[in-house]
Structure 1
Amino acid sequence: MTPEFAAASDSARPLWLVWKDDALPPEAGDWPAQCGFSAKPGEICLLPDGAGALSGAIMGLGARSEAGRSRFALARAQALPKGDWRLAALPEGLDPDEAALGWLFGQYRFTRYKGGPSDGPHLVCPEGADADRLLAIARAEFLTRDLINTPASDMGPAQLEAAARTLADRIGARIEVTTGEALLQQNLPLIHAVGRAAAEAPRLIDIRLGDEGALLAIVGKGVCFDTGGLNLKPGASMALMKKDMGGAATALGLLAMLADTGAAKGLRLRVLIPAVENSVAGNAFRPGDVLTSRKGLSVEVNNTDAEGRLVLADAMALAAEEAPELMISLATLTGAARVALGPDIPPFYCDDEPTAAALQEAAMRVADPLWRMPFWQPYEPQIEPAIADLDNAPAGGMAGSITAALFLRRFAQGAARYAHLDIYGWQPAAAPGRPKGGVGQGARAILAALPRILP
């Protein structure tokens, strides 16, 4: 589905947003009090006119002291009756862009298999908000959500490639795809090893946009389904593994944002997506195998369920050969990150202080939260086994997100700066602007931070 605003119209009904304990608009009279309206977050009071027809509505934002919880409050306004609405006034403390983006995010529905878009309420873009930019951001987020929500039966490596080609064609980008045995010929052995047991051939999707300016390389993990391989996951752990390509989905969403908002101008973008399915067959890679990466580093496989860092390693090594000014990896990589920070806050890793500061500031400013974690040098020996250069799954299980990030950093050498985001890509319970299901994480923060990182 496509996010949209209503055209400005005199017939659009007024909607007042109010903080708890603030004065209600005089147009409402005593009606809200008679209805027990208390301005709880998302609470709506419909206002009648003198003839009993609907004349407008009031929606609560909750306590001003808890404003952070209401940053996408307008997403809840999707519960309004259908028709066109306009904000009668924007209360102090609520940014017009943020309010409007909340509305757009609240429109999202995944309708591929059930139902269709409903003819719900429509909002006139608030005064002061940048409608074109917000619609571009929302369209990109909807793309990410749709890709994650689609099950592996309809979103395997071939379908992920098709989605990438559709986006590349639309924005005028160049795309090349290396598939199957050609991965070995092109020295991408880890991608081949992880994906060779699947029904669909593994592949590397390589998208380029722009010919001048600083080079930004974005690498997204595209494991379209993860059984765990021969270290087979239990059924409960496998249930959400259609989302294991959330890094790839977020990378494509970020590419769309950069292109459609104009932020890609003056940059050279390269998006690399290793697209595989980690399956079980007679030719599956095994625990104890030692694989040699594109970079020449040998990797001892101590758990076939730690496959994401393997496919990323080859793609990152390829990207690093061009010495990008910034490399960013996006991956649904470790359960350890979720244990530490929960589903809402992805950790990110970055050694460059100005880049890390820009990401942290932007994440908070645009309500796309990230939390910085350390590339902790004393843990380096944990990823160095006795018989190979690297271990893909250190024993003990401690600091799993950090050791995974340290593993990946070995393959980013050559990039001037590197940041890794260990995202979850899934909203386990509905929240304002974030229905249960696939969700983008980090893309808006990166978009907002880039002017400071690559001016």
Structure 2
Amino acid sequence: MTPNIVSAANTETHPIFVVEKSQFDDWLISQPEQWQNWIKSQGFEAEGGRHLLLPNETSQFSSVLYIRSKELSIWSLADLSMKLPKGTYALEAEISPKQATDIAIGWSLGTYVFDRYKESKAEPAQLVLPSGADAALVQRTVKATYLVRDLINIPAADMGPSALEAAASQIAGEFEARQGNIVGSDLITYHYPMVHAVGRAAADPPRVIDITWGNPDAPKVTLVGKGVCFDTGGLDIKPSAGMLMMKKDMGGAATVLGLAHMIMDAALPVRLRVLIPAVENSISGNAYRPGDVLTSRNGKTVEIGNTDAEGRLVLADALTAADDDEPDLLIDMATLTGAARVAVGTEISATFTDDDELFAALAAHAEIEADPVWRLPLWDGYRHLIDSKIADINNAGSSSFGGAITAGLFLKEFVEKSKSWVHFDIMAYNSRSRPGRPIGGEAFALRALYAMISARYSVAP
């Protein structure tokens, strides 16, 4: 079972009475006089999301009143797991199996604490798995989300390219997947020249992590994740404030590893491949330079307009390798541009695809899963912004406008054979605390993508 979810009630289980705001007055009248007096004495106002501890006959805490103003969702009770007294609780409400599953997921995600470097004194409350909940999906989702959050939250000193490879190996080993790692100068031999160029200045050598799993005859689903474990900006160095969050620049890699874990754990009938170009964009005497021209894996030449636009370079080589397999579905995820944050903010996944049917399915599942995505255009009219006078393409746009779009158009140059491709430009980090989503690393679009892939390749999610 997942953290803080138990399969059965015990003698000390405290009920959580979920009362719809508009029905609160009727509910209150039907309750024992002791509770009526207690609720009135506390000056409790029945507003959505509020809760109140209720006493028993001996004035000891016994139950919880929770007010909802709309349909219960994954985040409705997520903060209660850390707000209620330590103990075991059971939901008293008529809910659907989907709601039961979501509430259990949200409850567990609300108990997440990153305690690798500082002991946590938190004592989260336990919830009895609500009736009808899919226990396997709850466990699968929570484990993958915790994995993604942990990988992003670990500082670069402990989560460089070699440590990211080790983390991927643990996941691959859990499901007996095959993994190959191409490291250092071997990247030149095996035709990942831009991955090598971006990462060669770092003490921890660059590498490509390549995981395969599943029946070779099944539909091919390939996940590519940007694994820039730290980004100084290279010779176009970032200001100090710009580097503070750069441990999260491998958030795309972390997210595809979480998604891969869910797919393999569910044994979905797909041929899964995961490609992660893992590098640290550092500075030394052999760092790649502004104005250099790199030859990519697919033979296109790339003029370096800015060494801080490194993510699209390493992704380009990985996307070319993925595209050579002609997958049925190719997904890449990256903390790629600040422009995407300007466009959609920090809490929505900017999404790019030319496949209308794919995005329609993705958007539908994103709404159901409360895991928001927003489509931005791969507008060919902006392609001229990444033209180069001396190479096939420039890695940095000639204008500051439309930066997320031109980054997507750059990646599009390296996807030719895949039947369907979607690119995510994600924050991978919660910049504010919300129920179930503490400040720190976050698995953007994970639940939406899993639901979409599950529905696309199997009968039940």
Match of 2:19 in 1: 18
Q: CA deviation at 1:9?
A: 2.0
2:227 is aligned, of 212, 216, 222, to 222
2:205 is aligned, of 201, 205, 210, to 201
Name the aligned partner's letter for residue 228 of structure 2.
Answer: V
Give % identity: 46
Deviates more, 1:107-116 or 1:329-338: 107-116
Cα deviation 1:401-433 (Å, max 9, x = unaligned) = 011011111111111110001010000010011
Q: CA deviation at 1:446?
A: 0.8
Distance 2:455 2:123 in 1: 40
Match of 1:8 in 2: 8
Distance 1:112 1:2 in 2: 19
List alignment gaps of at least 5 residues for structure 1: none
Cα deviation 1:268-305 (Å, max 9, x = unaligned) = 00000000000011100000000000000000100000
Distance 2:172 2:41 in 1: 55
Report whether the alignment pairs 1:86 with 2:86: no
Name the SS for the 1:75 alignment partner.
coil
Distance 2:121 2:271 in 1: 36
5 Å-filtered alignment, 1:289-300, equals: 289-300=292-303
Q: CA deviation at 1:3?
A: 2.4
5 Å-filtered alignment, 1:234-249, equals: 234-249=239-254
Q: CA deviation at 1:173?
A: 0.9
TM-score by length of 1: 0.95
1:403 is aligned, of 402, 406, 414, to 406
Report whether the alignment pairs 1:413 with 2:416: yes
Deviates more, 1:90-99 or 1:34-43: 90-99
Q: CA deviation at 1:91?
A: 6.2
Match of 1:56 in 2: 63
Name the aligned partner's letter for residue 291 of structure 2.
Answer: G
Distance 1:196 1:119 in 2: 45
Distance 1:183 1:110 in 2: 34
5 Å-filtered alignment, 1:37-48, equals: 37-48=44-55
Distance 2:2 2:283 in 1: 38
Report whether the alignment pairs 1:343 with 2:350: no
List alignment gaps of at least 5 residues for structure 2: none
Q: CA deviation at 1:448?
A: 0.8
Cα deviation 1:201-256 (Å, max 9, x = unaligned) = 00000011102310001000000000000000011111000000000000100011
Distance 1:323 1:92 in 2: 40
Distance 1:239 1:20 in 2: 43
Distance 1:140 1:325 in 2: 24
Match of 2:325 in 1: 322
Name the SS for the 1:403 alignment partner.
helix
Distance 1:164 1:93 in 2: 33
Tell me which stretches of 4 or more aligned residues in structure 1 moved more than 6 Å: 91-94
Instruction: Judge conservation of contact 2:96–2:132 (CA < 8 Å) in 1.
Output: no
Name the aligned partner's letter for residue 172 of structure 2.
Answer: A
Match of 1:132 in 2: 136
Q: CA deviation at 1:171?
A: 1.6
Cα deviation 1:124-148 (Å, max 9, x = unaligned) = 0111111121111010000000000
Name the SS for the 1:22 alignment partner.
helix
Instruction: Judge conservation of contact 1:18–1:91 (CA < 8 Å) in 2.
Output: no
Distance 2:80 2:388 in 1: 55
1:161 is aligned, of 158, 165, 171, to 165
Distance 2:254 2:4 in 1: 22
Name the SS for the 2:21 alignment partner.
coil
Name the aligned partner's letter for residue 185 of structure 2.
Answer: E
Instruction: Judge conservation of contact 1:205–1:273 (CA < 8 Å) in 2.
Output: yes
Distance 1:7 1:442 in 2: 28
Distance 2:228 2:219 in 1: 29
5 Å-filtered alignment, 1:422-433, equals: 422-433=425-436
Distance 2:118 2:66 in 1: 30
2:261 is aligned, of 246, 250, 256, to 256
Over 3 Å counting, the alpha-carbon distance change for 1:452 and 1:352 in structure 2 is farther
TM-score by length of 2: 0.94
Q: CA deviation at 1:8?
A: 0.9
Over 3 Å counting, the alpha-carbon distance change for 1:129 and 1:91 in structure 2 is closer
Q: CA deviation at 1:37?
A: 1.9
Distance 1:265 1:429 in 2: 34
1:279 is aligned, of 260, 277, 282, to 282
Name the SS for the 2:5 alignment partner.
coil
Distance 1:98 1:44 in 2: 19
Match of 1:77 in 2: 80
Match of 2:111 in 1: 107
Name the aligned partner's letter for residue 39 of structure 2.
Answer: P
Match of 1:353 in 2: 356
Instruction: Judge conservation of contact 1:71–1:94 (CA < 8 Å) in 2.
Output: no
RMSD: 1.8
Distance 2:274 2:372 in 1: 23
Q: CA deviation at 1:346?
A: 1.2
Tell me the number of residue pairs that the alignment of Structure 1 and Structure 2 aligns: 449
Name the SS for the 1:99 alignment partner.
helix
Distance 2:40 2:313 in 1: 60
